[in-house]
């Protein structure tokens, strides 16, 4: 069997379905709820459950290893570097979601950041790293 390298620290439920050969999302949710895989629910106020799974924990599960649940190492993989603020576009890539979803999280006050209305260069919101870490901590399943 050929193993495909996963280049991002987080993967969506559909990736888990393909890797695990699950038949529905509920199986992936059950693995997350039981702690067998490390996952975050990044939903906004108006959306349904929106799971992102830490790719290393998915690989650990497939290899039948205990997942690394060290929060600081998981966050370091998701948000590399040490800058105080992270652009909304960078956060969208890190969380594997749309920029609109990041804006929804800001609107719903799950995140705090400097927001410049509109689209285009230099219009991406600047979000405090500490706020993103707190958001991830509160959304860890």
CATH 1.10.540 fits 74-139, yes or no: no
Report the distance separating Cα 52 and Cα 40, nearest Å. Answer: 5
The pLDDT assigned to 1 comes to 46
What local confidence, expressed as pLDDT, does residue 21 receive?
A: 86
> What distances in angstroms separate CA 47 from CA 38, 57, 73, 95, one per listed residue?
21, 25, 28, 15
How far is residue 42's CA from residue 39's CA, in Å, rounded to a whole number?
Answer: 9
Q: What is the pTM of this model?
A: 0.86
Please choose, from the candidates 74, 61, 1, 70, the residue with its C-alpha nearest in 3D space to the C-alpha of residue 32. Answer: 61
Task: Record the tokens describing residue 56, joined without a space.
Answer: 């290393």
Residue 114 pLDDT: 73
pLDDT in tens, the chain (141 residues): 445 577 789 999 999 998 888 888 999 999 999 999 999 999 988 878 899 999 999 999 998 988 778 999 999 999 988 889 899 889 999 999 998 899 899 989 998 877 666 666 666 788 999 999 999 999 999
pLDDT at 2: 47
* CA distances in angstroms from 128 to 27, 33, 61, 106, listed in the order given: 34, 28, 32, 11
The domain locations on the chain are 10-70, 74-139
């Amino acid at each position: 069997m050929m193993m495909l390298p996963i280049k991002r620290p987080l993967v969506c439920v559909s990736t888990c379905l393909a890797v695990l050969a699950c038949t529905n999302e509920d199986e992936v949710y059950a693995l997350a709820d039981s702690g067998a895989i490390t996952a975050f629910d990044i939903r906004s106020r108006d959306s349904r459950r929106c799971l992102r799974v830490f790719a290393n924990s998915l690989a650990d599960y497939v290899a039948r290893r205990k997942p690394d649940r060290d929060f600081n190492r998981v966050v370091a993989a998701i948000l590399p570097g040490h800058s105080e603020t992270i652009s909304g576009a960078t956060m969208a890539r890190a969380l594997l979601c749309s920029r609109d979803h990041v804006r929804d999280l800001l609107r719903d006050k799950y995140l705090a950041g400097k927001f410049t209305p509109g689209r285009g260069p230099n219009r991406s919101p600047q979000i405090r790293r500490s706020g993103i870490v707190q958001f991830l901590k509160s959304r860890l399943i």
